[in-house]
Amino acid sequence: MKKNHFLLGFGFSLAAALFTLTFRGPRSRFWDRMTGTGLALGTLAVVTQPQVRKTRIGLKEILMGIVSAGALYGIFHIGDKVSRIVVPHGGEQIEEIYKLKRIRPRKELMARLGLIIGPAEELFWRGFLQHGLMEKFGKLRGTLLGVAAYGGVHLTSGNFTLIGAATVAGAFWGGLYALGMPLGALIVSHVLWDNIIFLIAPTTKLAEES
């Protein structure tokens, strides 16, 4: 049990350090650092967690992923409008996030998000961290702690809108995981949502034009 506690603590500490480096480093290399973070955290999850290695993606997982990604996309369309009204400089912060898509070619970013970053985030944050927290603290508290951890590592971005968006998305996927959605379906959902909201059909017109 103590070994599991140490592993959870190590995993979160590693994630916090890597996300800090990702957000605080030179902007031009953001996607290289983000990809490296995904590789490190995803590898940790796969190597240490047997249930993660059993992840499968079949027709059922694909369909569940499509539906859930669509639902989250709808939530963010509403959130975009609300944040521009409620959050000071919310619109500017949203545009700042979308500027990251201009750093690298679109097809390259789709590959990074679809093959490494999206899958790795689900493998680590749900399959590794939340799974371990639910085993230790119970389903509800473990999920809440997992959501707080996911939102918390985005604090170093200094972008309140991004922190809020990460927390909402983490709560959405974390809640589905707690309710029993397979990790494979969550990976499909995360990959689709990342690509759609960031590259294919952004919630802001300026981002669509960039």
- Helix-strand-coil percent breakdown of the chain, rounded to 5? 85, 0, 15
Question: Quick check: 167 pLDDT over 60?
Answer: yes
The pLDDT value given to residue 86: 61
Rounded to an integer, what distance in angstroms lies between the CA atom of residue 65 and that of residue 88?
A: 33
Pick the closest to residue 127 from 72, 184, 74, 189 (CA basis). 184
pLDDT in tens, 123-150: 999 999 999 999 999 999 999 999 999 9
Q: What is the per-residue pLDDT for 89?
A: 57
Q: Kindly give, in sequence order, each residue whose CB lies less than 8 Å from that of residue 139, ignoring residues fewer than 6 positions away.
A: 178
Residue of 12 and 86 predicted with greater confidence? 12
Helices 90-98, 59-86: axis angle to 10 degrees equals: 140
How far is the C-alpha of 27 from the C-alpha of 47, rounded, in Å?
31
Hey, what are 207's tokens? Answer: 């981002």
d(CA 115, CA 106): 14
Residue 64: Cβ within 10 Å count: 18
Percent of the chain with pLDDT over 90: 70
Helical H segments across 88-159, by residue range: 90-98, 106-112, 118-121, 131-137, 139-152
Q: For residue 61, what are the domain limits?
A: 2-209
- Which is more confident, 48 or 82? 48
- Angstrom distance (rounded) from CA 178 to CA 63: 19
- By CB atoms closer than 10 A (0-12, 13-18, 19+), residue 167 is middle
pLDDT tens digit sequence for 153-163: 999 998 888 89
φ and ψ of 175, to 5 deg: -65, -40
Task: Please write the tens of the pLDDT for every residue from 79-105.
Answer: 766 666 566 555 566 677 778 888 899
- Please report the pLDDT score of residue 84 as a whole number: 62
pLDDT attached to residue 90: 57
For the chain, what is the domain count?
A: 1
Tell me how many helices (H) and strands (E) the chain has.
12, 0
Q: What is the mean pLDDT of the chain?
A: 89
Provide the pLDDT for residue 100: 81
Q: Calculate mean pLDDT across residues 67-89.
A: 78
> At which residue do the structure tokens 């998000």 appear?
113
Between 199 and 45, the higher pLDDT residue: 45
pLDDT of residue 78: 80
CA atoms within 13 A on the CB side of 87: 19
pTM, full prediction: 0.91
> In the 3-class helix/strand/coil scheme, how is 35-83 assigned residue by residue?
HHHHHHHHHHHHHHCHHHHCCCCCHHHHHHHHHHHHHHHHHHHHHHHHH
For position 2, what pLDDT does the model report? 52
Between helices 183-195 and 160-178, what is the axis angle to 10°? 150
Quick: pLDDT tens for 108-128: 999 999 999 999 999 999 999
